[in-house]
Structure 1
């Protein structure tokens, strides 16, 4: 299905809405509810005490023989693999993708996953992987499968409201809800089967049973009835088939440690138990591959969808006057779809501007930070309430009675507890390699490259994960990097209130190669004006404007930025965002002495956005062109992107507000049509991609 273009690369208009056997478990599950809390928490706690009490310390920590499981030979021998290409069949190696639901990066500190150590020794691991917003199971698994953010593929939560499909919000995890999955994009299993005729097996992986075309075979739908051991048994059965009937791509979903963590806390011994069982089953899988002499010939990836956080607070939204009905979908992120029954004007009018005491931040679709890539679809809701870390939102008194609040997920991916894992090994991957953090939207392109599939347009960036591969198929997907089209001269001088009376405007016909930006290939007229030697202004016919300050200093900051903003801004935007941004930029100039600054505005679908890109050299060593770093690996960027129709309903401290509206450099490129850091002689392509896709976790 072709993708629709628009805001951040895709169309945000509403036309898109029209157009095995049961095995006994060590810990009995007490009813799974990924959107809320479990029933019978007390009985689950009693049962776990009985089970854990029956386990001796030796059985628990000493090889797990008490579970009838033993350490496979693959870990008792030499831990280093030697790839022998002669043993492997020609063509792309089979790919097995395991997803361990809710495996927080912090669990690695427990040192319980020998299988992960084995993968890291013989392959690649990421420092950490970031989920997409919101950090829930189905949205993130479908992002992994399609390379699209949840706002683009449309699976924004487990319950989704789309008036063109259903009259009320619908649980999109159900197998019969395929209509919700034809919104945008094509999952990797369907693409691989359609284009390459690849054989695909899917065991419980979210979305496999829902996407209506080119379904995997065999196919086990997402459910809660199989134990994780039973799922591994099915995978092992599949890989033991001969080459004529085996699968080229196997996707596997395990519901742990998510299932256990929801009902407990981070320091619970139940988590240790679950990690041990996952580890032993993964060891068993590797041992089978080794016995079949397929270990060196199979690419294996283990990842997760999100991390976890203890819940310490529940906020009852009804006390703020929020209506209670099906169109108020509560959770860590509460989405309100306005209609006659859910008018929110009074709620917003009476809501205190105090997010910390309220327990949540309030945004409309228009004011939600663009970096979340969530509000481009009406499925996100008209009003969004984002719970503060460790807080969940409900619209009922019943939830307030729970004694055990357990743990949850769904918060902003920048919260470190939401960080998760990525491990990979096989003939395609480097060995003993740690790669930089990345967001899971980048995985799809990796899968496609491993499988030899033509890569369709998506939110990922080709090259983002080349650092993990031994022999990446290096190519440039972005035609703007290859665009040498001269920029047209202006038919008339641009109106400008210059503070530099003595400076004469100089309209250039082309960009010099060394200059830091380029424009996309379009018919739009572009003007490039030299205000002074290191201050330039770029303007477009449609009203876009950017100010580039090379070798920026404190002295010229106020003058040059006033020069840019001869357009109106609201008092609220000026006082709450613009002036704090100016002050923060001034602080950075004083701290780092030298810094590049690009500030601009751009229109997108009726809204005007302000952006700013700061960059500096970590070691303070600049190239002679005064724009690039001598060592490109020392380049550090910090970018901001904010709608100028700004309404602050949260009264955040200045730094928190600025951080909320940080963005990737690529986000600004996408919305503005500009391309930054384009000189491949100064910055290698892979480093450029790393700089542009970097997700800000903290302000400088």
Structure 2
């Protein structure tokens, strides 16, 4: 290589090295600037999140606020749907970090401000909400809001601002009441008044304060555009931030338990449907509302239902009191109503709209719709921190108020243990006594008694099979009841829970897995075992009915046990039972293993609670499916990780088919239920082995919004 060439190469290398060094320096400078910008952004976010009241301090600066309990402030931001939290609200984010929130809260069915507001302060479903109990007539239903309970038990003062029901207050001393009007006072004015009430000296200071606010409904009812929603939420967040700042500066924020809730959400109106243009109701009377009520007044109700059958079910669905889903807890409050018409997918229903302008927002009665689901935020010295609860229904809140105010229990539709998960130190409470269901009286004889269609050879084979089949060393579920009228019978992997004496209810517990979902028998052989029964039960099908087994797989051998044969309407079998069985078996194959509980229920007064008279044709059928979202234990009877247990429950009214002609999966979703609803209508509680009590409570309270 020549000297000239060598110099060129060396010069090129020097230039390359210089450029590389320059590039590294530039990258270091850029990285430093990016890091600085990110640090500044994080600092700004941290500063925003660390406003003077958001340090999560639980120190109460004034001891007179601690006795006999910390004051409770309940604020309802009406119309605040959980879906609105897609926009960041710093005030609520701070409360969630320092206190307790929930994934969502389900309002009561019906989408009415009054019934949901009262559910929050009474713990009662709409069907249980009557008038205040008369002093002279004990037959009048009792509805006791928390402010009444508080005054009766403690004699302390209350303050209620614009909450529905407040005008009914009647105390022996002047409390602080601002009656509700068409729309509440502005939130800022209400919160300023709360600060004034809290600043009062004892004994004038109220121990419980309730505020119901309509700012969101008022603003978005006129304009529900994205910009209007953003502006309304910004104002709300500003008002809350100012409120908490005032409490902090007064040195009492750490002395208060504050809970923010909402009555129900709303959806943008997608369409208006005028029933008067589509259905001829004759002499029937119509009561407009989120749930449209039709009173027959002598009109042919069946003919009205037939007219509704031509209407798109994505617009509305129609129900009788009997066919209304049990989980709504609505039928018991509508005794004179013949039909309930329920809008779907944001459709506003009306009767003779008369050219009125369509509303920007509409209330959706079905709380399975995410737009109806609401919020829960709690902050205070009695409340845990940084905890997010699974979804729950608003009727559970009454027991939280009782705990926070240290009151004696008041009967309601909520769950006593609900508040334990929220509080640092919940009070010990006595829960209702229940008895584990025991085995029915039995003999050591195991022969097969023919109840129809069993040959001698078939009976011998059945007996031999039952003597050698797999017997679990413990129950798949742990049934119990406050009644002593139940007992169980064991048949291999199946458990039959049956009533005694005049109780004709029956339930079947079985497990399906990949090895036992195939057809095992083609013979119509119904039987009982002499171990438990000396004779066959009498099963009679009326005209238009067929007898079917409770088992999800009717072709299985043990599905032919005579005690689990029940007569059902043929249309009910076609529209409900057959699709339910098909769904159950498909899911057992999909997941590999499913525990299934199927039973009859008697609830002829439609109050969601088992009747005392459990004879004759059942009014409802229920089914509970249990699966593991991870692996099962080695014995295959429970989840290896109990927190991966999932429950899907259904309650079907025994009707003559489905008047709405829904596709099978839509029908199944329509009639889902909480496990607690099943327990109430069956009169039997179902617990699961190895599942911790608090998680079992969550499984019982779980509201289904989609199928598996």
TM-score (norm 2): 0.77
Q: Does 1:234 align with 2:193?
A: yes
1:589-613 Cα deviation digits (max 9, x unpaired): 1111011111111222385211111
- CA gap of 1:325–1:208, structure 2 versus 1, over 3 A, is farther
Q: Give how far 1:570 is off.
A: 1.4
Distance 1:236 1:297 in 2: 13
Q: Name 1:309's counterpart in structure 2.
A: 267
1:221 aligns with 2:179: yes
Distance 1:356 1:582 in 2: 24
Residue 154 of structure 2: which of 193, 196, 214 is its match?
196
Asked if 1:672 corresponds to 2:682, the answer is yes
Q: Among 632, 642, 646, which residue is 1:621 paired with?
A: 632
TM-aligned CA deviation for residue 388 of structure 1: 1.4
Partner Cα distance (1:125, 1:494) in 2: 58
* Distance change >3 Å, CA 350–CA 589, structure 1 → 2: same
SS in structure 1 of the partner of residue 418 of structure 2: coil
2:216 equivalent among 218, 237, 257: 257
Instruction: Tell me whether 1:279 sits opposite 2:256 in the alignment.
Output: no
Matching residue within 298, 301, 310 for 1:344? 301
CA offsets 1:492-522 (integer angstroms, 9 cap, x no match):
999966988444589xxxx998562334233
Quote the residue 2:43 is aligned against. Answer: none
Instruction: Count residues with an aligned counterpart.
Output: 592
Structure 1 match to 2:55: 80
Deviation at 1:184, TM superposition (A): 3.2
SS at match of 1:209: helix
Structure 1 residue 627 displacement after superposition: 2.9
Distance 2:437 2:488 in 1: 14
8 Å contact from structure 1 (residues 199, 248) kept in 2: yes
Q: Report what 1:663 is aligned to.
A: 673
1:119-153: per-residue Cα shift (whole Å, max 9, x none)?
A: 11211111111111112211100101110111111
Pair 78,367 (structure 1): closer, same or farther in 2 beyond 3 Å: closer
Decide whether aligned partners of structure 1 residues 145 and 369 sit closer, same or farther in structure 2, where only a CA change above 3 A counts: same
Among 104, 129, 137, the residue aligned to 2:113: 137
- Does residue 378 (structure 1) correspond to residue 331 (structure 2)? The answer is no
Q: What is the match of residue 74 of structure 2?
A: 97
User: C-alpha separation between the residues in 2 aligned to 1:354 and 1:323?
Assistant: 14
- 1:185 is displaced (CA, Å) by 2.8
Aligned residue in 2 for 1:9: none
2:398 equivalent to 1:433: no
SS of 1:479's equivalent in the other structure is coil
Change (3 A) 1:688 1:225: closer
Cα shift at 1:264? 2.7
Q: How much has 1:438 moved relative to structure 2?
A: 0.9
Instruction: Give CA-to-partner distance per residue, 1:63-119, whole Å, 9 cap, x none.
Output: xxxxxxxxx9995337322223675424321100000010011211111x2221221
- Give the aligned partner of residue 531 of structure 2: none
Alignment of 1:417-456 (within 5 A): 417-456=371-410
Q: Which residue of 2 aligns with 1:600?
A: 599
Contact 1:551 1:627 in 2 (8 A): no
C-alpha distance 320-249 of structure 1, shift in aligned 2 (>3 A): same
Does 1:333 pair with 2:279? Answer: no
Looking at structure 2, the residues matched to 264 and 562 of structure 1 have their Cα atoms a distance apart, in angstroms, of 61
What is the TM-score normalised by the length of structure 1?
Answer: 0.78
Contact 1:132 1:372 in 2 (8 A): yes
Offset at residue 528 of structure 1 (A):
2.1
In structure 1, what is the Cα distance between the partners aligned to 2:254 and 2:48? 16
Within 2, Cα distance between the matches of 1:627 and 1:261? 51
Q: Is the 8 A contact 1:464 1:693 kept in 2?
A: no
Partner secondary structure for residue 469 of structure 1: coil
Alignment match, 2:23: none
**Of residues 361, 364, 368 in structure 2, which corresponds to 1:407?**
361
Picking from 538, 541, 554, the partner of 2:517 is: 554
Counterpart-to-counterpart distance in 2, 1:215 and 1:659: 50
Q: Which secondary structure state, in structure 1, belongs to the residue aligned with residue 424 of structure 2?
A: coil
Post-superposition CA distance 1:195-246 (Å, at most 9, x none): 1223211001111223657898101111136333222221121111123211
Distance 1:182 1:286 in 2: 41
Q: CA RMSD in A?
A: 3.2
Partner residue of 1:14?
none
SS of the residue 1:242 aligns to: coil
Give SS of 2:159's match.
Answer: strand
**1:394 counterpart = 2:350:** yes
Instruction: Please say if 1:699 is aligned against 2:707.
Output: yes
Contact 1:662-1:696 within 8 A present in 2 as well:
yes
Cα displacement (A) at 1:565: 5.0
Contact kept in structure 2, 1:320 and 1:347, CA below 8 Å: no
Contact 1:430 1:469 in 2 (8 A): yes
Provide closer, same or farther for how the CA distance between residues 192 and 380 of structure 1 changes in structure 2, counting only shifts above 3 A: farther
Higher RCO (C-alpha 8 Å, min separation 6) = 1
Q: 1:361 aligns with which of 317, 320, 325?
A: 317
Secondary structure at the aligned position of 1:82 is classed as coil
Which of 288, 291, 301 is 2:249 aligned to? 291
Q: CA shift at 1:380, angstroms? A: 7.4
Contact in 2 for aligned 1:124/1:430 (Cα 8 Å): yes
Query: In the superposition, relative to structure 1, how do residues 416 and 432 fare at CA in structure 2: closer, same or farther (>3 Å)?
Result: same
Q: Decide which moves more: 420-429 or 380-389.
A: 380-389
Query: 1:613 is paired with a residue of what secondary structure?
Result: strand
Change (3 A) 1:543 1:215: farther
Moved more, 246-255 or 181-190: 181-190
Matched, 1:209 2:170: no
Task: Measure, in 2, the Cα distance between the counterparts of 1:328 and 1:545.
Answer: 40
Aligned-partner Cα distance in 2 for 1:497–1:410: 51
CA distance in 2, matches of 1:262, 1:623: 57
> Structure 2 CA distance, aligned partners of 1:257 and 1:373?
28
TM-superposed deviation, 1:457:
1.9
Matched, 1:688 2:648: no
Q: Note the residue ranges of structure 2 that are not aligned, 5 or more in a row.
A: 1-46, 521-552, 605-612
- Helix, strand or coil: the match of 1:641? strand
Give the whole-Å Cα distance in 2 for the aligned partners of 1:324 and 1:259: 37
Farther-moved stretch of structure 1 (428-437 vs 632-641): 428-437
Check whether the contact 1:311–1:390 (CA below 8 A) recurs between aligned residues.
Answer: yes
SS at match of 1:81: coil
TM-superposed CA distance for 1:276, in Å, is 1.9
Larger radius of gyration: 2
Report deviation, 1:259: 1.9
